[in-house]
């Protein structure tokens, strides 16, 4: 590994993530910032983008691209108070494009913030006692935990670990506070010893690093898609320890078989007291062993694939100074969110609070002519007395509702045309990444395309009598996998405008990846290909058999095994 990836040099020269960001913000002749600084900006939670809908027209007119910035919040555990909701909503209207975007990693994104408003927006976010530090970049990013922290004591413990681990791995540089907050400490994220990075070192990690925490039987966080995962082992309502997984990830590049999605390996069991230490050591092993020469192979999944789980575990144990236990038994049932009302599991029945999981199409909180979701949520926040929780499926939980307040919330949602049920089991389990017009890497539409395709598929499901069946469907506008499409029973990955690769056969509980079934298919071809499979599924499935398991059993696609042979045994359908 003699040569280093360009990002490594940018990080090294950055003076702990400062670079020229502060100065670049003052240049008024351009809406952009310097290329090296765009890399560093990610560590501060923001990406420079341009509106791709108008890119060609502006190029023709010899105008600069329509630059703006996406901002992602760090929100471990995903909970915001009504007061915070109101502030976040204000920011969406004042500085962003009038929408809040709930992400597949259970936080918020703003789109369309122009350079001259970037600092003000960062300050407004921090004034809501939320920050954006390390929401992106080569660091431990936002930590996701099971979507219902208020459901039981164990769920709360998962949220607490998410917050503690996220805080423990925050970069210690003072750059963030210096650039965005003029060194004003709004919340306690400012470092005690600003100018050293005791865990990361000056080069931070070779690549992004993602941590999640699951509470079985729900695998809503898609534990096997992430670098580091903790699975709660619960006895008598308490977490007695965590099974630890390492080496999952989704991203790949079309046509490059040395890049691939991978499900995480089980590394072992640790006690609650050991959890943060074990996670920190996983991070430091990846810091030292990760590939800093070839960025496309720099994620932890490639390190684990290269050295093997036994060698990786041995190094983590050596650094911890203790051995991990054998993994305890657990089982997952699904990766989706149970849409609708749900009551806390702990406590006396009469005292248990209610939680409403709202399906938010592709996570976009906005007002339309028929459905005023943003207004409804604003009014619910104004009334107070609830919490909001962003889920890892881009949905939103209105949490901690009393039995008395329940009908009021329902009435408010109804008043603004917000439907609390989904039109089908397919839509309930649908997710699409942002893609066009903001994502620089999008090869095709996703968020703006999937809802219509689901409507078309609903007609086919209707004919097969499957409208209410839960089937996981996900789409991304490129192979990076932001909506975890390779863990969907039906997955689409963008190839070019209007064309997608179709993947089938992932397990409903998130334990097995899919396989490619057809390449470069358009909307019509997708429907033609899926109709007979859906009909066959309706006729031939065994009791309780999920779609992904059926297509593997029926030999429509081969199974991707635990060995992650994603690119092997592929037989493409003829179109
Ligand atoms: Fe992602 C890059 C959006 C979850 C894998 N992702 C991007 C960027 C920032 C494009 C870019 O680099 O210029 C996208 C911004 C689009 C926009 O306009 O907002 C983007 N990713 C998203 C979000 C917003 C999708 C969504 O619709 O919700 C999700 C934000 C999560 C968050 O809150 O932190 C999002 N991205 C994911 C996930 C899912 C997950 O983590 O559970 C993955 C797959 C898991 C994984 O990391 O392996 C994912 N995003 C990527 C990759 C591929 C990484 C790789 O290993 O190859 C990229 C590209 C990159 O890093 O070079 C990427
Ligand atoms: Fe953009 Fe690709 Fe991620 Fe979709 S999957 S948001 S197109 S990077």
Residue 538 in any domain: the answer is: yes
Q: What is the mean pLDDT of residues 112-128?
A: 98
What pTM value is reported for the model?
Answer: 0.97
Candidates 11, 478, 495, 512; catalytic one:
478
Sheet of 340-343: strand order equals 79-80, 387-390, 396-401, 354-358, 340-343
Q: 308: cis peptide before it, omega within 30°?
A: no
- Does any domain span residue 373? yes
CA 240 to ligand 2 center in whole angstroms: 37
Composition of the chain by helix, strand, coil, percent to 5: 35, 20, 45
SS3 91: helix
- Cis geometry, peptide bond prior to residue 177 (ω within 30 degrees of 0): no
Contact 42, 136 (CB under 8 A): yes
pLDDT at position 34 is 96
Catalytic annotation on 208? yes
72 as an active site residue: the answer is: yes
Mutate to test the pocket of ligand 1, among 96, 104, 482 (most ligand atoms within 8 A of CB): 482
Q: Which of 104, 146, 256, 442 to mutate to test the pocket of ligand 1 (most atoms within 8 A of CB)?
A: 104
Same domain, yes or no, for 315 and 394?
no
- pLDDT band of residue 183 (cuts 50, 70, 90) is confident
What is the distance in A from the centroid of ligand 1 to the CA of 102? 13
Is residue 141 part of the annotated active site? The answer reads yes
Which one of the ligands is nearest to 478 CA? Answer: 2
Q: Is residue 394 part of a domain?
A: yes
CB of 434 closer than 6 A to ligand 2? yes
Of all residues in the chain, what percent carry a pLDDT higher than 90?
93
Q: Is the same domain home to 379 and 283?
A: no
Work out the angle at residue 508's Cα, subtended by the Cα atoms of residues 505 and 510, and round it to the nearest 5 degrees.
95
pLDDT of res. 555: 97
Task: Give the CATH number, domain containing residue 382.
Answer: 3.90.480.10
The confidence score (pLDDT) of residue 186 equals 52
Query: What CATH number is associated with residue 478?
Result: 3.30.413.10
Q: Is residue 401 part of a domain?
A: yes
Specify if 513 maps to a domain: yes
Indicate left, alpha or beta for 529 from its phi (over 0: left) and psi (-120 to 50: alpha). Answer: alpha
- Relative to the alpha carbon of 105, which ligand is closest? 1
Same domain, 88 and 184: yes
Is the pLDDT at 191 greater than 80? The verdict is no
112/254 same-domain check: yes
Q: Please, are residues 560 and 512 in contact by the beta-carbon 8 Å criterion?
A: yes
- Tell whether ligand 2 has an atom less than 6 A from the beta carbon of residue 314: no
Kindly state whether residue 451 falls inside one of the protein's structural domains.
Answer: yes
* Residue 457 and residue 506 in one domain: yes
Per-position DSSP letters for 472-495, written without gaps between them: -EEEESSTT-TT-GGGSSEEEEEE
Quote the pLDDT of residue 556. Answer: 97
State if residue 440 touches ligand 2 by the CB under 6 angstroms criterion: no
pLDDT (0 to 100) of residue 187: 54
Picking from 415, 441, 456, the residue at the C-terminal end of a domain is: 415
Q: How confident is the model at residue 192 (pLDDT cuts 50, 70, 90)?
A: very low
Which is higher by pLDDT, 46 or 562? 46
Q: Which residues line ligand 1 (CB under 6 A)?
A: 47, 49, 70, 72, 103-105, 107, 109, 141-142, 208, 210, 225, 249-251, 299, 363, 394, 433-434, 438-441, 480-484
Mean pLDDT score across all residues of the chain: 95
Ligand nearest to the CA of 248: 1
Q: Mean pLDDT throughout 19-47?
A: 97
What's the CA-to-centroid distance between 97 and ligand 2, angstroms? 19
Residue 138 has pLDDT above 60, yes or no: yes
Q: What's the pLDDT tens digit per position in 288-308?
A: 999 999 999 999 999 999 999
In a domain, 53, yes or no: yes
**Do 529 and 502 fall into the same domain?**
yes
* Chosen domain end from 289, 320, 351: 320
482 is catalytic: yes
368-408 confidence digits (pLDDT tens): 999 999 999 999 999 999 999 999 999 999 999 999 999 99
Polymer length of the chain = 575
pLDDT of amino acid 189 = 57
Which of 434, 437, 448 has most ligand 2 atoms within 8 Å of its beta carbon, as the pocket-test mutant? 434
Query: Is residue 190 pLDDT above 80, yes or no?
Result: no
**pLDDT tens across 478-504, in order?**
999 999 999 999 999 999 999 999 999
Checking if the pLDDT of 351 tops 90, the result is no
Average pLDDT over residues 439-447: 98
In the chain, the number of structural domains is 3
The sign one gets for the Cα dihedral 432, 434, 437, 439 is negative
- Classify residue 133: in a domain, yes or no: yes
Q: Are residues 453 and 355 in the same domain?
A: no
DSSP string over 430-456 = EEE---TTT-TT-SS--TTTHHHHHHH
**Pocket mutation for ligand 2, best pick of 47, 431, 435 (most atoms within 8 Å of C-beta):** 435
| 256-293 per-position pLDDT tens digit | 999 999 999 999 999 999 999 999 999 999 999 999 99
User: Is the CB of residue 480 below 6 angstroms from any atom belonging to ligand 2?
Assistant: yes
Same domain? For 199 and 268 the reply is yes
pLDDT at residue 1 tops 50: no
In this structure, the answer to whether residues 236 and 100 fall within a common structural domain is: yes
Q: What interhelical angle do 523-540 and 450-464 show, nearest 10?
A: 30
| 187 CA from centroid of ligand 1 (Å) | 27
**Crossing angle between the packed helical segments 82-94 and 115-127, to the nearest 10 degrees:** 170
> Quick one: pLDDT band at residue 224, thresholds 50, 70, 90?
very high
- Residues spanned by the domain of 313: 6-320
Residue 478 appears among annotated catalytic residues: yes
- Mean local confidence (pLDDT), 514-543: 98
Q: What is the mean pLDDT of residues 94-112?
A: 98
> Are residues 458 and 354 part of one domain?
no
The mean pLDDT value for 216-235 works out to 98
Distance 164 CA to ligand 2 centre (A): 29
DSSP letter (8 states) at residue 351: G
pLDDT of res. 185: 53
Cβ of residue 357 lying under 6 Å from some atom of ligand 2 = no
Token pair, residue 479, equals: 């192979």
397 and 452 in a single domain? The answer is: no
Is residue 322 over pLDDT 50?
yes
| Among 262, 482, 495, 512, the one annotated catalytic | 482
The sign of the CA dihedral 92, 98, 104, 106 is positive
For residues 397 and 436, state if they share a domain. no
Catalytic (active site) residue 207: no
| The pLDDT of residue 251 is above 50 | yes
pLDDT category, 184, cuts 50, 70, 90?
Answer: low
Expressed in angstroms and rounded, the spacing between residue 299 Cα and the centre of ligand 1 is: 13
Average pLDDT over residues 197-216: 97
Pick the ligand that lies closest to the CA of residue 433: 1
Candidates 136, 227, 270, 439; catalytic one: 439
> How far away, in angstroms, is 442 Cα from ligand 2 center?
5
């Amino acid at each position: 590994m003699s040569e280093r990836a360009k990002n490594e040099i940018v990080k090294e020269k950055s003076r702990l993530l400062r670079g020229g960001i502060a100065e670049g913000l003052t240049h008024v002749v351009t809406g952009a910032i310097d290329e090296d600084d765009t890399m560093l900006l990610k560590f501060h939670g923001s990406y420079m983008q341009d509106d791709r809908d108008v890119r060609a027209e502006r190029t023709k007119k010899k105008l600069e691209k329509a630059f703006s910035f996406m901002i992602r919040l760090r929100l471990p555990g995903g909970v915001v108070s009504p007061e915070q909701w109101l502030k976040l909503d204000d920011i969406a209207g004042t500085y962003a494009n009038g929408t809040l975007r709930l992400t597949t990693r259970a936080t918020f994104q703003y789109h369309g913030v122009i350079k001259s408003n970037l600092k003000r927006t960062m300050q407004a976010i921090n004034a809501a006692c939320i920050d954006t530090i390390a929401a992106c970049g080569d660091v431990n990013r936002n930590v996701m935990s099971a979507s219902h922290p208020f459901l039981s004591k164990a769920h709360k413990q998962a949220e607490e670990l998410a917050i503690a681990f996220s805080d423990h791995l925050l970069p210690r540089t003072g750059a963030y506070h210096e650039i965005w907050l003029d060194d004003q400490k709004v919340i306690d994220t400012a470092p005690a010893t600003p100018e050293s990075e005791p865990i990361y070192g000056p080069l931070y990690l070779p690549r992004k690093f993602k941590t999640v925490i699951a509470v079985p039987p729900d695998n809503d966080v898609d534990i096997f898609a992430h670098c580091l995962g903790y699975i709660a082992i619960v006895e008598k309502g308490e977490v007695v320890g965590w099974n630890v997984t390492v080496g999952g990830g989704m991203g790949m590049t079309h046509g490059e078989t040395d890049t691939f999605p991978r499900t995480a390996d089980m590394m072992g069991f640790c006690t609650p007291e050991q959890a943060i230490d074990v996670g920190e050591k996983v991070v430091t092993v990846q810091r030292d062993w990760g590939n800093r020469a070839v960025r496309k192979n720099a994620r932890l999944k490639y390190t684990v694939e290269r050295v093997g789980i036994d060698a990786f575990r041995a190094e983590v144990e050596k650094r911890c100074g203790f051995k991990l236990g054998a993994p305890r038994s657990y089982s997952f049932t699904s990766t989706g969110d149970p849409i609708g009302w749900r009551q806390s599991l702990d406590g006396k029945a009469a005292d248990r609070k209610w939680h409403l999981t709202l399906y938010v199409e592709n996570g976009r909180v906005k007002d339309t002519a028929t459905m005023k979701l943003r207004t409804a949520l604003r009014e619910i926040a104004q009334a107070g007395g609830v919490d909001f929780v962003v889920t890892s499926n881009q949905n939103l939980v209105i949490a901690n509702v009393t039995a008395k307040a329940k009908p009021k919330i329902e009435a408010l949602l109804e008043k603004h045309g917000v439907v609390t049920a989904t039109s089908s089991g397919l839509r309930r389990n649908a997710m699409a990444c942002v893609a066009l017009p903001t994502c620089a890497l999008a090869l095709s539409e996703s968020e703006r395309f999937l809802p219509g395709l689901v409507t078309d598929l609903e007609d086919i499901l209707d004919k097969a009598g499957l409208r209410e069946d839960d089937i996981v469907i996900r789409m991304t506008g490129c192979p990076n996998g932001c909506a975890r499409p390779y863990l969907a029973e039906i997955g689409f990955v963008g190839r070019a405008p209007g064309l997608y690769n179709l993947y089938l056969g992932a397990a409903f509980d998130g334990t097995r990846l899919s396989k490619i079934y057809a390449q470069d298919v358009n909307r019509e071809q997708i429907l033609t290909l899926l109709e007979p499979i859906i009909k066959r599924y309706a006729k031939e499935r065994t009791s309780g058999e999920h779609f992904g398991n059926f297509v593997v059993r029926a030999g429509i696609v081969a199974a991707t095994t635990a060995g992650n042979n994603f690119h092997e045994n592929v037989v493409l359908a003829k179109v």
